[in-house]
Amino acid sequence: MVALDTNLMVYAHREDSLWHQPAREILEKLVFSGVRWAIPWPCLYEFYSVVTHPKIFGQPTPPAVAWEAFRGFTEMAQVRLLAETEDYADRLARLVGDLDLRGPRIHDARIAVLCHVHGIRELWSSDRDFSRFGFLKVKNPLVT
C-alpha cells in the first residue's frame, strides 16, 4: 500500500499549480484503481492549511471548497487514514533522537513514522526531505 503526501494533493487541487495536470491524473488513477491507499492525517490538515493560505496563493481556495476537498479524501472507501497509535510517540521520539531532528523536519518525521507504524512502505511525494528516513521508500510519481 502507498501513502500520499500533501504536495500531490495540493497540486491536484490547485489548477494554478505547474504540476496540476500530472498530479490530478496520478490521483485519478489511484481513485479509480480500486486498490487501497493511505493518507496520513497530518497531510490532510496541511493540505487544508496550504490551499487556504493567502501568503502561499494570491487567491487561496475558499475555506468551504477546501473543506469539501478535505472531506472528499476522508470519505473515499479505498483510502486508509493513518492516525497515531499507542506506541507512536515512543517511535517518533526514537527517530527524532537518532537523527537529531529539529524545526520543520519534525513534520516529515511525523508522517514517516505514521507510515511506518501502519506498515506503509512507500510514500508518494515530491518532497526529497523524506529520503533521510531509510525505512520508507519515497517515490515522486511526477517524475518518471
Instruction: Identify the pLDDT of residue 98.
Output: 93
> 82 is written with which cell numbers?
493513518
Q: State the Cα–Cα distance between residues 141 and 144, nearest whole angstrom.
A: 6
Q: State the Cα–Cα distance between residues 66 and 44, nearest whole angstrom.
A: 10
Q: What is the pLDDT of residues 40-86, one digit of tens each?
A: 999 999 999 999 999 999 999 999 999 999 999 999 999 999 999 99
| Encoded amino acid at 89, one letter | A
Q: What is the pLDDT of residues 81-140, one digit of tens each?
A: 999 999 999 999 999 999 999 998 999 999 999 999 999 999 999 998 898 999 999 999
At the second CATH level, the architecture of 2-139 is: 3-Layer(aba) Sandwich (3.40)
Establish how many alpha carbons lie within 13 A of residue 48's alpha carbon, considering only the half-sphere containing its beta carbon. 16
pTM: 0.94
Beta bridge partners of 45: none
Strand, helix or coil for residue 40:
strand
